[in-house]
Amino acid sequence: MQPNPPKRKSSASQAARQLRGVEDPWSPAVWLVLALVIEQSSHGYEISQRYQRRFGSFVSMSVPRVYAALDRLRRLTGIGSQSE
């Protein structure tokens, strides 16, 4: 009798991230937020409201996730960084 294979505890997307070593920094949500920033620079809450109006029926995203996408854009590209 052969031993049972170990049960998988992670989803396919988690496995893909493990294979890449890091989470994809350019997720679809980040691209959509970037499009809104390029269209019109504004504060995070306003971007979140525009996101809900424009893309909410296709890909819903909470306000904290919009802020997370903005933070990721700042880290990756410097968008929104202000120098004194």
pLDDT of residue 11: 52
Chain position carrying tokens 């998988």 = 8
**3-46: pLDDT as tens digits:** 665 555 545 555 444 444 445 678 888 889 999 999 998 899 99
Cβ count within 10 A of residue 36: 21
Angstrom CA distances, 44 to 14, 26, 36, stand at 28, 18, 11
Going by pLDDT thresholds of 50, 70 and 90, the confidence category of residue 50 is very high
pLDDT over threshold 70, residue 73: yes
Q: Is the pTM of this model over 0.75?
A: no
Any idea where the domains of the chain sit in the sequence? Answer: 26-77
pLDDT of residue 18: 46
